Amino acid sequence: MQSEKTKKPMSKRRKITFIVLGIMLVLIVGIVGYAYSIYHNVKETVDEEMYKPVDSIEHTPEQKEKIEKKKTLNILLMGVDEREYDKGRTDTLIILSINPNSNKMQMISIPRDTRTELVGLGFEDKINHAYAFGDVNTTIETVEAFANIELDYYVKMNMEGLVDLVDAVGGITINNPYDWEQSGFHYKKGELSMNGEQTMGFVRMRKMDSDFNRNDRQRIVIEGILKKGASVGSITKIDDVLDVLGDNMETNLSFDDMKNLFKNYRDTRKNSTTYQVTGTGQYMENGNGQNIYYLIVPEEERDKVHGMIVHFNNEM
């Protein structure tokens, strides 16, 4: 599979998948007409704490104008389990494509155990090790090579930020697909209200399903955060939300980028589709002689994912 572009050479917590739209809950109250002090606080938090440009994504005037010109964007969402003494891994990788011309959004999840070449490191391993053994740049370039696409932006969120974000908006209410108990809490089927710790248990649960279903639960949680964050009652909580995002989120989206994103792309979330990369589970020996589990994704599946993104980007 050949690359479609010529590439140039090249602190705390884990997973939120629908993260770019998580930023929207801040913009909804920060940009559309509330007090200047709120607007100023949002701009300061984004540009001084969250904004982290990377070498692997070009920052040319043409690239920056894509949002203003309402072109389709491909954004990598990264959920990282990062702790004080552990760099962590990207347990969530989603290619989010948003097309303002068709007013559609597409999310393609790449399972963390996917075996692929880690760009710049010279060997194959689980795709979530691109961050563990490299950095954000390594992860971006590895995902680009895997899907044979070009990414425009990235957003990285740390796991414990999910707990704090849910608590910052005053808890969330979601529709739970099935009933189970864990850590002393009953996750009843149907409408369910949760605080931050309960939300963490909801997205981490594995006993009843799999990593594939975890991605669905994460999306349910983010939708719950968006709904609560956009409510009038959450306006007074904006400072708490900003503190959480400033501590736990990194992105190459500037404040001006986010304003234009909100202005030109906000309707895309009303018509969204999701897909999860598939493959065959297999135990294989890694470079250290260990026999570990990988998801082997055939070339045909990678071609399919590439085709889905190209087709979506060209829709009118």
Per-block average pLDDT, block size 10, for the chain (316 residues)? 39 37 44 53 84 89 82 91 74 90 91 95 94 95 97 87 84 88 86 91 71 69 72 60 83 86 81 90 84 95 97 92
The pLDDT, as a whole number, for residue 141 is: 97
Instruction: Report the interhelical angle of 19-31 vs 36-45 (nearest 10°).
Output: 150
**How far is 25 from 19, CA to CA, in rounded Å?**
10
Find all residues with CB under 8 Å of 286, minimum gap 6, and list them. Answer: 125, 292
Separation of alpha carbons 109 and 114, rounded Å? 11
pLDDT (0 to 100) of residue 38: 64
Cα–Cα distance, 144 to 137 (Å, whole number): 11
**Number of other residues whose CB lies within 10 A of the CB of residue 95:** 24
What value, to the nearest 5°, has the Cα angle with vertex 246 and ends 243 and 247? 85
Query: And the tokens for 193?
Result: 């209200």
Query: Side chain identity at 55, as an amino acid letter?
Result: D
Spell out the residues 6+ positions from residue 224 whose beta carbon is closer than 8 angstroms to its own: 172, 173, 174
* The pLDDT value given to residue 85: 66
Q: Which tokens in the block code for residue 216?
A: 């669905």
Question: What pLDDT does residue 232 have?
Answer: 45
Quick one: tokens of 265?
């792309």
**What tens digit of pLDDT does each residue of 48-82 get?**
888 999 999 987 777 778 888 889 999 998 888 77
Q: What is the pLDDT of residue 212?
A: 60
pLDDT, one tens digit per residue, over 73-92 is 999 988 887 766 677 788 88
Residues 6+ apart with CB under 8 A from 119: 130, 138, 141, 142, 144, 145
Asked if residues 172 and 199 have their Cβ atoms less than 8 Å apart, the reply is: yes
